[in-house]
Chains A and B, each alone.
Chain A
Amino acid sequence: MTDDPDDRMLRLNAALDGELDALSALEFERELAADPALAAEYRRAEALRQAIRRSAPLEAAPPALVDRVAALAAPAARSAHVLQARPSGWTASHPLALAASMAAIGFAVGVGLMSLRTQSAGEGVAQTLVSDFARAEIADQPFDVASSDRHTIKPWLGGRTTVSADIVDLASQGFPLAGGRVAVVDRIPAPTLVYRHHEHLVALTELPRDARGAHAGGGIEAVDGYHVARWSDANLAYVAVSDMDEKTLAEFVAAFREARKPAAEETR
């Protein structure tokens, strides 16, 4: 019975999980080599763990849940419907839920004063990418692959995204390439290039032209303290998020579009 698993099983599991310190791991490897029964046990445990990972993978949170959670701390008008989507045991009587409802009302009122814009798909995309940008900044790791070499970044992104990122270097215009990462928009991975400008960054995400809310008049807007520019050409839609001021971001957009010129431009 496994009620009180012996030391051996505990160590075997710890070894499997990479939780042994270096010396213990070394000792365990020696035992493994000397003891076929232990080795067989270890292989079985490994097979079981793989089977668990295969059979019980991470599940994607339902989009409605993602939206409701985002709405809890949303900076824009989405909050008003925070807890209406799924009436349940929590929302009826729970004090925290009540607090959130009140917060939601607070948000809604505040937002009403701040801006009368209505929520659109476009704001959703901008919000997603701004959150991405903010998170990357906080994580102190604004890109997943750090390189100023577009020949390094392109295959890295190509292996992870469907939109093919045509990478331009804007170093001579004052915006050297710093790296690349993958943003997820509407649950679809989108290649994102990160450019540097002095101590500021700009993250340029490429989306399919038909992506929901990708275009928004071509201007620059402020979202959550960041600036967001959106435009499109004949093939792709672009969203640039930056902590640079509006004027510098406009310069970046102009430089980028100029560099991409050969692809026939079409503004929307």
Chain B
Amino acid sequence: MTGPAPGSVAAQRFRALVPPLLDDAYTLAKWLCRNSADAEDIVQEAALRALLALETTSVERPKAWFLAIVRNAAITWMTRNRPTDVAYAGDSTDLDALDPRLGEAAPDPEAALIALEDGARLRQAIAALPAPLRETLVLRDVNGLSYRDIAEATGAPIGTVMSRLARARGGLARILKAEP
């Protein structure tokens, strides 16, 4: 098996499509696996899959397409290297399972406002979201994909994307406001 020749259509498409998406891909991978070195591996693997796929595929919405590959590469990677850490099985994970320490402090509205400003705390809260909620939130609010693209990338119906997004945001809001 050989890769596409450097002058081939696949290689040309790849050079045109993939490099501009690397920041998105890397950020997504990092949120999914929560580790920058692993994120690099995942993106490189995804790029390779993309290159091979481009031999037979032409792409209409490059960002949604490539981020879907990154997402799948991340899941494969997690399954292989951190099987205990994968919670992609379904929607069974519950926000109640979140680290309770994240919900402390901020007893009054003003503090809640400050808490919103506290980037580190928010990042920690996002990282603590169950995987299906986290990937949906990141694809939407960090990568800026549409519901339709997220549904395609995650293989979930749009209704599920909507409910995951609402739950993710609701969970973050509760954590940051520290409602009991």
Contact = CB atoms under 8 A, between A and B. Distances in A.
Interface stretch (A95-103, A196-204, A213-221): A95-103
Given A56-B122, A134-B12, A103 B3 contact: yes
B166 A5 contact: yes
Contacts of B25: 61
A100 B4 CA distance: 9
Interface in B1-49: 1-7, 10-20, 22-27, 30-31, 36-37, 40-41, 43-45, 47-49
Given A19-B147, A51-B117, A97-B48, A56 B138 contact: yes
B162 A14 contact: yes
Nearest to A137: B16
Interface in B60-103: 77, 80-81, 94-96
Interface string B105-135: 0000000000011011011001000000000
Nearest to B3: A103
B16 A131 contact: yes
Give the contact-size bracket for chain A. 35 or more
Tell me if B's interface is mostly helix, strand, loop or mixed.
helix
Interface residues of B, number: 71
Contact of B126 (A3, A56, A60): A56
A51 B122 contact: yes
Contacts of B172: 48, 52
Given A52-B172, A69-B44, A110 B2 contact: no
B57 interface: no
A170 interface: no
B22 A75 contact: no
Interface string A98-118: 011011101100110000000
Given A2-B170, A5-B166, A61-B22, A56 B141 contact: yes
A5 B167 contact: yes
Contact of B166 (A10, A51, A88, A135): A10
B106 to A, nearest CB: 13
Interface string A49-64: 1011111111111101
Nearest to B91: A3
Nearest to B171: A2
19 contacts: A9-B170, A53-B141, A55-B122, A55-B123, A57-B27, A58-B27, A62-B40, A64-B40, A68-B44, A79-B6, A99-B52, A100-B48, A102-B3, A104-B3, A134-B12, A134-B15, A134-B16, A135-B16, A138-B13
Given A75-B6, A79-B6, 19 more contacts: A2-B95, A5-B170, A12-B166, A13-B169, A17-B147, A45-B173, A47-B116, A48-B176, A51-B176, A66-B22, A73-B4, A73-B15, A74-B6, A75-B7, A94-B45, A95-B1, A102-B2, A134-B15, A135-B15
